[in-house]
Structure formats: structure tokens, C-alpha cells
């Protein structure tokens, strides 16, 4: 089974289209999304319709939670908050209802899908140290998932409970030892923050126990034009070309 893993689309239609095109060429068996379909950029409805028509299995991100009105965005920056109000005004009722129906996390055949941290959609998981307390939460689950996929930081990452760290690029072979656990972040489709402006995603090969990180070029300028036309904060347009 080969699973494409995407996250943090953030209403960037050009990036999402480019990533889905590349994923189609890779002929995977399924696509999952780790949350934040909306927020920041200017195409929330078109992105949601693409996600729904491609039958992408999704969990909620913190921006989705706020857009769906499930919680108030108390820890958002002013730019994120401005984009969120705009998103709430523009999302169709059908798409709002779809967002509100999504789960916070999901166990998919031993793969644990979530947005920020285990049982906390808002908290960032940035280091191996952050990962340690989250591995304990996985241990407490009846299914004891060995691999967790997360987003939220917008940076590709491989966090393990082993010594040393794995590079989050190219192909990474996972150790087959049942005791070895991983948290893996594909990076962001619609607002990368690792200094590389290209849209990020990964493919997990369950049989080969391999992760391959990919980057896809997309029309950044077209996305920026839409952000400016919508009257969203200029910084949201500008950061896309820097990948920050
Ligand atoms: Zn995000």
C-alpha cells in the first residue's frame, strides 16, 4: 500500500493542483491530509472541492477548526486572524459543514494521523524532545501505532525515538524494528516555511517501509495575485516566494 501524505494546503489552489498532478503520476493507492485545508490564501472553496472530489481522507487542522466555528482562534497572529475572518465570510455552507464533520485525529491501519501534537491540534511538535511525550501517548493507545504523521509546523521532519536524527528529504528507509517509532511531517503544500517555496508532500510505502519526500513547482505568482485581489494581508503573498 502506498499512501501520499499532504498537509497545510491553506487555500492555495495552484499548489494543491500541482501536488495532486504529481501524485497522480506516482499512482499511489490513497491520499491523506493532515489538516489546515483552509486559512491564509484566497481559494478555500476550490481547494475544499478538490479535496472532496479526490476523496482525500482528512483530519482537522487548527485553521479548519476556527473556520468551522468549532473553537475561537485565540492564539492566531493578526495576519492569520484576518485571513480567517475572510475565509469564514467566503466558505460555502456545504464546505463549512464538511469541515465541521472531520475528526481531529485518525488511526489508519496503524498510522496515526493528526495535525499539531497527539490530542492537541494547536501545539507544535518541533524537536525529538517534543516527540518523546507524544510517543508515550501513542503507547497508551490500544492499537499502539508505530508511525504518526503530523503537520502544523510547515516544515518536513522525521522525528524518531532512536539516537541521531533522520534527514527529511529524498528517500528515508524506516527501521522495521517494531519498537522503533516515528513522527513524520510531509511539509506544507500551500505555505512552505523551510526556505523552499515549492509545494511539499511525501509518499509512504508500507511494504518497503520507505518515505519519499517530494517538492512540486507551482504558479506562485497566480496565487499571490489572488491574495492581493482578495485584499488579504500583503505579507501572506510575499512570504510564498521566500518559502518562509
Ligand atoms: Zn498550517
Q: Report the separation in Å between the CA atom of 177 and the middle of ligand 1, taken as the mean of its atom positions.
A: 32
Q: Report the separation in Å between the CA atom of 158 and the middle of ligand 1, taken as the mean of its atom positions.
A: 18
Query: In terms of Cα–Cα distance, which of 212, 192, 215 is closest to 204?
Result: 212
Q: Report the separation in Å between the CA atom of 63 and the middle of ligand 1, taken as the mean of its atom positions.
A: 7
pLDDT band at 164 (very low <50, low <70, confident <90, very high): low
- Main-chain dihedrals φ then ψ at residue 45, nearest 5 degrees: -70, -45
Q: Report the separation in Å between the CA atom of 176 and the middle of ligand 1, taken as the mean of its atom positions.
A: 30
Q: Report the separation in Å between the CA atom of 102 and the middle of ligand 1, taken as the mean of its atom positions.
A: 16
Q: Report the separation in Å between the CA atom of 190 and the middle of ligand 1, taken as the mean of its atom positions.
A: 9
pLDDT at 3: 98
Joined together, the cell numbers standing for residue 194 give: 523551510
Q: Report the separation in Å between the CA atom of 36 and the middle of ligand 1, taken as the mean of its atom positions.
A: 5
The overall average pLDDT reported for the chain is 95
pLDDT digits (tens, 9 = 90+) for 196-205: 999 999 999 9
> Rounded to the nearest 10 degrees, how much is the dihedral formed by the CA atoms of 25, 223, 239, 74?
-100
Q: Report the separation in Å between the CA atom of 8 and the middle of ligand 1, taken as the mean of its atom positions.
A: 5
pLDDT digits (tens, 9 = 90+) for 112-162: 999 999 999 999 999 888 999 999 999 999 988 999 999 999 999 999 887
Q: Report the separation in Å between the CA atom of 192 and the middle of ligand 1, taken as the mean of its atom positions.
A: 9
pLDDT band at 176 (very low <50, low <70, confident <90, very high): confident
- Whether 41 contacts 67, CB under 8 Å: no
Map residue 226 onto helix, strand or coil: helix
Q: Report the separation in Å between the CA atom of 134 and the middle of ligand 1, taken as the mean of its atom positions.
A: 19
pLDDT band at 74 (very low <50, low <70, confident <90, very high): confident
Orientation angle between helical segments 44-53 and 78-90, nearest 10 degrees: 70
Cα–chain center distance at 40: 14
pLDDT band at 29 (very low <50, low <70, confident <90, very high): very high
Amino acid at each position: 500500500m502506498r499512501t501520499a501524505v499532504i498537509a497545510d494546503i491553506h487555500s492555495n489552489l495552484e499548489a494543491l493542483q500541482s501536488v495532486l498532478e504529481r501524485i497522480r503520476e506516482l499512482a499511489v493507492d490513497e491520499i491523506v491530509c493532515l489538516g489546515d485545508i483552509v486559512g491564509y490564501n484566497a481559494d478555500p472553496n476550490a481547494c475544499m472541492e478538490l479535496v472532496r472530489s479526490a476523496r482525500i481522507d482528512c483530519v482537522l487542522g487548527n485553521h479548519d477548526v476556527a473556520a468551522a466555528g468549532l473553537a475561537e482562534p485565540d492564539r492566531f497572529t493578526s495576519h492569520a486572524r484576518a485571513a480567517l475572518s475572510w475565509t469564514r465570510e467566503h466558505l460555502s455552507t456545504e464546505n463549512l459543514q464538511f469541515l465541521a464533520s472531520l475528526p481531529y485525529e485518525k488511526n489508519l491501519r496503524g498510522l496515526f494521523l493528526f495535525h499539531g501534537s497527539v490530542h492537541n491540534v494547536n501545539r507544535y511538535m518541533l524537536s525529538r524532545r517534543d516527540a518523546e511525550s507524544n510517543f508515550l501517548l501513542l503507547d497508551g493507545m490500544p492499537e499502539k501505532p508505530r508511525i504518526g504523521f503530523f503537520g502544523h509546523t510547515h516544515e518536513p521532519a522525521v522525528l524518531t525515538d532512536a539516537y541521531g536524527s533522520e534527514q527529511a528529504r529524498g528517500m528515508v528507509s524506516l527501521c522495521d524494528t517494531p519498537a522503533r517509532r516515528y513522527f513524520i511531517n510531509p511539509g506544507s503544500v500551500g505555505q512552505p516555511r523551510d526556505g523552499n517555496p515549492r509545494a511539499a508532500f511525501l509518499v509512504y510505502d508500507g511494504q518497503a517501509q520507505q518515505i519519499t519526500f517530494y517538492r512540486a513547482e507551482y504558479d506562485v505568482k497566480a496565487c499571490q495575485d489572488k491574495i492581493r485581489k482578495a485584499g488579504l494581508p500583503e505579507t501572506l503573498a510575499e512570504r510564498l516566494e521566500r518559502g518562509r
